[in-house]
Amino acid sequence: MKLYSDSELPVRPALEAVHAATLASFVGAGSWYSGAERCEIVMEARRARCEAGLQEDGAVAPHYADINATARRVAAKVATSVEDLSRDFMEEAIAQGLSIDEYVEVVGVVSRAVNLDVFARGLGLPVRQLPSPQSGVPARTRPATARDEGAWVPTVPGGSRGGDDAQRIYGSADPQAAPFIYRALSLCPDEAAGLVALGAAQYLEIKDFMDLEFTYEPALSRPQYELLAARVSALHQCFY
């Protein structure tokens, strides 16, 4: 069954496919968390959003796993109030026992899960339910090419400096394929690759960025795309 088979509005097949893949990605082991723990991170984000009045459903679900209180706090913060998410908050979470790598994975899981939940709400649909968690153990490895590039956390550079890691994450050896907004999650490669896939399907692929005639939706011109993107970013106080 298609992910949005209950939608009265059409959803592009490529967009539906990447959303289905995103939902499935939460139930398998990641870089530092198991599938059950990743599902619990998604549910903590949903509970926080329901409590904050940002969505109406999704809070009632099985308890998937025990995760520490700091991971829960980060998940809730990222899910509800990113406009005041600061470096001090991140450093406090790390001081309380969360590793930088774990912090990045929580941010990646929550940001991608909220993406899907907001999309479903826009269609007038309930949140999509998680499949059952899969067995397996986290990779527990950091990309060898990750380095300090001036961000809050180490990142994997694009192009030759990122080597095979860059190719895997960004899908290209071109340095231009790895803007910082994609590198932000690259400490956890699957999270970053998932973000790139969502960006390509929902907005555009990097290779199309300078094509000012490009559009997925004939009813919207590229300038209208950019106006919508800029306005939404401003409303969310996105400093990027």
In this prediction, residue 225 carries a pLDDT of 86
> In this structure, is residue 72 part of a structural domain?
yes
Q: Is the pLDDT of residue 240 over 70?
A: no
> In this structure, is residue 27 part of a structural domain?
yes
Which tens digits make up the pLDDT trace of 20-77? 999 999 999 999 999 999 999 999 999 999 999 999 887 666 788 999 999 999 999 9
In which band, very low, low, confident or very high, does the pLDDT at 239 lie, cut at 50, 70 and 90?
low
> In this structure, is residue 98 part of a structural domain?
yes
> In this structure, is residue 229 part of a structural domain?
no
H, E, C per residue of the chain = CCCCCCCCCCCCHHHHHHHHHHHHHCCCCCCCCCHHHHHHHHHHHHHHHHHCCCCCCCCCCCCCCCCCHHHHHHHHHHHHCHHHCCHHHHHHHHHCCCCHHHHHHHHHHHHHHHHHHHHHHHCCCCCCCCCCCCCCCCCCCCCCCCECCCCCCCECCCHHHCHHHHHHHHCCCCHHHCCHHHHCCCCCHHHHHHHHHHHHHHCCCHHHCCCCCCCCCCCCCHHHHHHHHHHHHHHCCCCC
> In this structure, is residue 147 part of a structural domain?
no
The tally of domains found in the chain comes to 1
> In this structure, is residue 207 part of a structural domain?
no
- Domain span at residue 121 reads 11-139
> In this structure, is residue 163 part of a structural domain?
no
Which tens digits make up the pLDDT trace of 105-138? 999 999 999 999 999 999 999 999 999 999 999 9
Please state, for a pLDDT cut of 70, what percent of the chain lies above it.
Answer: 98
> In this structure, is residue 4 part of a structural domain?
no
